[in-house]
Structure 1
Amino acid sequence: MAVIKLTEANFEQEVMQSDKPVLIDFYADWCGPCQMMGPVVEEISNEVTDAKVCKVNIDEEMAIAQKYGVMSIPTFVVIKNGEVTARDMGAKPKSAVLEMLK
């Protein structure tokens, strides 16, 4: 499944109403560690079938980033049933990001 780009317009439907856990990658185009994690997030989205994988560009969607207290990027947040169940920051090995979904 392709990575879903989140906006304020689709956030409620894609995340809060999702029947699957949602992994959100908060990133910016100018962020080096975010660029390193981009291909990892793409790989995860192609491998994981029991979760949604989404991205939020913090420069374009500041309100979402503020709502989730994103202070540094990349920040990864997992939301299940409308609740944050995991959160981590910085470049990580793929296994660490996948572990957040468990």
Structure 2
Amino acid sequence: MIDLSKEDIARFISTEKTGLIYFYTPICGTCQMASKMLEVVAQLTPTIKIGKADLNYMPELAKQFEVISVPCLLIIKDGVIVEKVFAFHSVLFLQDKVNQHLL
């Protein structure tokens, strides 16, 4: 996963158009577990772009994307957010979401 700035996120959505953006906060224990799950998903699907952003530095993006809690995963296809995932149940659950929307 690559770290994204606000500008990177805008560019990611407009140019990459398809991929995952993961919002987290560093002190969130659930976010730390979710990060590990996403690392596995990244290894299983190396063709899918995955970026991450610390919402502590981007509160306006939380409002813009209606992120109500962290962790939050935006699944983006063709420049459109097709799903927001707030509950990261398991690696298999996340992989199924990726397969459902992006593969």
- TM-score bucket (shorter structure): 0.7 to 0.9
CA distance in 2, matches of 1:71, 1:59: 13
8 Å CA contact 1:44–1:53 kept in 2: the answer is: no
Match of 1:69 in 2: 66
TM-score normalised by L of structure 2: 0.84
Report % sequence identity: 21
1:16-95 to structure 2, matched below 5 A, reads 16-19=14-17, 21-95=18-92
- How far apart are 1:90 and its partner, in Å? 2.4
- For this pair of structures, how many residues does the alignment match? 99
TM-score normalised by L of structure 1: 0.85
8 Å CA contact 1:22–1:78 kept in 2: the answer is: yes
Q: Pick the structure with more helix per residue.
A: 2
Look up the equivalent residue of 1:87 and give its one-letter code.
K
4+ residue runs of structure 1 moved beyond 3 angstroms? none
Unaligned runs of 5+ in 1: none
- CA RMSD of superposed structures (Å): 1.5
Determine if the alignment matches structure 1 residue 13 to structure 2 residue 11: yes
